[in-house]
Amino acid sequence: MPSLLACVIALAVSAALAPAWAQDRDAAARVYLYRGADRDQKLVEKAKQEGALTLYTSMQVTDSRSLTEAFEKRYGIRVSLWRASGEKVAQRVLTEARGARHDVDAIETDGAQMEILYREKQLAPFFSPSVKDIPAAILPAHAAYVPTRLTLYVLAFNTRRVPPAEAPNSFDELLDPKWAGRFALEAADVAWFAAVAKAMGEANGTAYFRKLAAMKPGIRSGHTLMAELVAAGEIDMALDAHVQGVARLKDKGAPIEWKALQPAFGQPSSVGVALRAPHPHAALLFADFILSREGQEIIKARNRVPSSRAVASPLNNFSYRLIDPAIALDEWDKWSALWSSLFLGGKEVKKDE
Cβ within 8 Å of residue 1, ≥6 positions away = none
- pLDDT number for residue 14: 43
Average pLDDT over residues 106-128: 96
H helices of 200-242, where?
202-213, 223-232
Give the tens place of pLDDT for each residue, 283-336.
999 999 999 999 999 999 988 899 999 999 988 889 999 999 999 999 999 999
- pLDDT number for residue 93: 97
Which candidate, 177, 162, 165, places its Cα nearest to that of 235? Answer: 162
- pLDDT number for residue 8: 38
Q: Strand, coil or helix: what is 305? A: strand
What's the CA gap between 122 and 106, in Å, rounded?
A: 11
- pLDDT number for residue 353: 47
Average pLDDT over residues 127-151: 95
Q: Evaluate the omega torsion of the peptide bond into residue 278 and state whether it is cis, within 30 degrees of 0.
A: no
* Farthest CA pair distance, the chain: 72
Distance, C-alpha 344 to centroid of its chain: 25
- pLDDT number for residue 9: 38
- pLDDT number for residue 40: 96
Give the tens place of pLDDT for each residue, 202-257.
999 999 999 999 999 999 999 999 999 999 999 999 999 999 999 999 999 999 99
Per the prediction, the chain carries an average pLDDT of: 92
Three-state secondary structure string covering 75-93:
HCCEEEEEECCHHHHHHHH
Percent of the chain with pLDDT over 90: 85
Three-state secondary structure string covering 180-197:
CCCEEEECCCHHHHHHHH
Give the tens place of pLDDT for each residue, 9-63.
334 434 444 455 456 678 888 999 999 999 999 999 999 999 999 999 999 898 8
- pLDDT number for residue 109: 96
What's the CA gap between 116 and 119, in Å, rounded?
A: 5
- pLDDT number for residue 37: 95
Determine contact, residues 323/266, Cβ cutoff 8 Å. Answer: yes
Percent of the chain with pLDDT over 70: 92
Cβ within 8 Å of residue 199, ≥6 positions away = 205, 263, 265, 321
Average pLDDT over residues 184-193: 97
- pLDDT number for residue 352: 57
Cβ within 8 Å of residue 86, ≥6 positions away = 58, 109, 110, 112, 113, 353
Confidence of residue 4 (pLDDT cuts 50, 70, 90): very low
Q: CA quadruple 99, 101, 104, 105: dihedral positive or negative?
A: positive
Full DSSP string of 235-251: SSEEEEEEHHHHHHHHH
- pLDDT number for residue 315: 87
Determine contact, residues 247/303, Cβ cutoff 8 Å. Answer: yes
Angle, helices 190-199/202-213, rounded to nearest 10 degrees: 130
Average pLDDT over residues 250-275: 96
The pTM of the full predicted model, rounded to 2 decimals, is: 0.86
